Structure 1
């Protein structure tokens, strides 16, 4: 073979080799580049009837309590990624392959231009609110009376309420009518036209004062004063909930059930390991949550055989329910209590999730 052909083939082989190496190098580099996704995976479970860091998850003082058995597990979702610690493409690809995890766009967890620390603080506030709502729902179910207080959390800078309503003011009335809850206050403000004033009666420290606040139009032309409120409750005895680093509102249903189990004779679980999820309203309404697939896997991995499921999550849950986990539909706290009673005694109806 002529020498010039050999040289030509050698150059071609070298070019292909270099091109292949370059593609491989770019692929390796690309695999470790950050991507705007978050990986959601099954998180740990906590028994609301048990302990965290050697302290009861639920402790009740000032009211008689009763022994419990079994477990009422709250479930969590762990995540990797986010603005502060983005994942790489390889991690995302592994997540897409694993059926027990979900890979979602970063903005579904972390709103754009939001400080991750802000999001964590918001989750902590949501958890606190969830614990209060859970106690209120449990006492509502048990017909134990309590009172509701609407408290000022903060005001928006530059808005009419700024400097007039103060943090921790308790709003007892609006325009002379009792402020039963946050929605009542909001509706009272909306009943005005922009430019009109709203009369708030508040308890500030030990003093009760009337505060007149003018309204302005928001971006949609609706009246607003720029106040952030929170419903707080005054219970006839002390209920404390300790869950360590767990955040968010989705454990509300399980907190309520744990409180009811401790406040009533007999054992709600019948000794079984029961898990579940769902937000809770003081009225007892159970709300939908995110990450249902990962929460079911976490529940089953921890040994649960029954999973209390918000009604609005049932269709999604049916698509990926793990083997050996029985889904029980919960529209309300009362439904959940009744279903657990039927499971324990073998009498009565146990509402099941059905495919959508």
Structure 2
């Protein structure tokens, strides 16, 4: 009897130790899963995700939802077991999300910068698709840069080195061939006043040419577009942002009043690029009620293998192809689909 009791006590103590270790000790994995999904035609916390001021807009309905992937970091042993058993989660090595030698804060900052760049690209791609004239603006001023104290957020950049500019790319092109320490003249407009400023360019570790120290943005000549969605990182919402801008600036309902979701990076010329985590994004979209999901062409094979039931997968390569596909579906036609 004593031996049996001792064995039982030892077993209980062992289980307690295992459970204790499993709830405290972290493992080198993160858990990926479906993240929140947001309607780019709607509002979040009372603020329109995509707002257009000072330009004619048209009513919209239905949904154009961007999708995200949730990342659970700091996973313990027992949590890892639970995530491994969950059908909608996947464990991956932590260094695939947070590369060695880079802090979580650095990764978060890079994701935020990518997200901000995707907003600018989405605006420019949409305005180009609609053939609307644009103006280059100051979206941000880098702290401690040559432009600090001279240019301000919201200024319109009229010309750089005497060259008229109307897009962020034009601003970058105007600085080609410059060197750190070189003075350049920037013509800008603030309110109703236009003026010139001579700015001595700084240096940047990733380029030889001189650095002005601003992140250029783009706006229509008439009106302003604002994309507001905090605490989201990465570039994969670009396509859906661009579609929301197009929908709000054109008559009719681009989505036919239906629930459309999607994902994809976008460049300033409207090219749609692949993303990661598409199985989780599709699941989140279907759970939210989406019936159509826009898939970057390079993600089609993975999407087909992991598609939830009842979700139509539309293949897109550019912003123009996405607009055409949605218009085709609204008219009762057959849009290009992802196929096995």
In structure 2, relative to structure 1, the CA distance for the partners of 1:210 and 1:25 (3 Å cut) is closer
Q: What residue number does 1:3 align with?
A: none
Query: TM-score when scaled to structure 2?
Result: 0.80
Q: Which residue, out of 180, 197, 209, partners 1:208?
A: 197
1: CA distance, partners of 2:229 / 2:145: 35
Q: Does 1:124 align with 2:108?
A: no
Unaligned residue ranges in structure 2 (runs of 5+): 152-156
Pairwise CA distance, 1:128 = 2.7
Pairwise CA distance, 1:22 = 5.2
Q: What residue number does 1:106 align with?
A: 94
Q: Which residue, out of 30, 44, 51, partners 1:38?
A: 30
Q: What residue number does 1:5 align with?
A: none
Once the two structures are superposed, the pairs formed by residues 265-344 of structure 1 within 5 Å of their partners are 265-344=251-330
Once the two structures are superposed, the pairs formed by residues 1-356 of structure 1 within 5 Å of their partners are 17=8, 20-21=11-12, 23-32=14-23, 33-81=25-73, 86-148=74-136, 154=142, 173=160, 180-181=169-170, 184=173, 188=177, 200-203=184-187, 206-209=195-198, 211=200, 223=208, 230-236=215-221, 237-347=223-333, 349-355=334-340
In structure 2, relative to structure 1, the CA distance for the partners of 1:69 and 1:24 (3 Å cut) is same
Over residues 16-70 of structure 1, what are the superposed CA-to-partner deviations in whole Å (9 max), with x where a residue is unaligned? 5566445434422332211222212212222112222233322211111111121
Q: What residue number does 2:154 align with?
A: none
Unaligned residue ranges in structure 1 (runs of 5+): 1-8, 156-161
Query: TM-score when scaled to structure 1?
Result: 0.77
1: CA distance, partners of 2:324 / 2:305: 25
1: CA distance, partners of 2:140 / 2:227: 23
In structure 2, relative to structure 1, the CA distance for the partners of 1:240 and 1:140 (3 Å cut) is same
Q: Are the aligned partners of 1:132 and 1:232 in contact in 2 as well (CA < 8 Å)?
A: yes
2: CA distance, partners of 1:250 / 1:274: 16
Three-state SS of the structure 2 residue aligned to 1:342 is helix
In structure 2, relative to structure 1, the CA distance for the partners of 1:234 and 1:50 (3 Å cut) is closer
In structure 2, relative to structure 1, the CA distance for the partners of 1:152 and 1:49 (3 Å cut) is closer
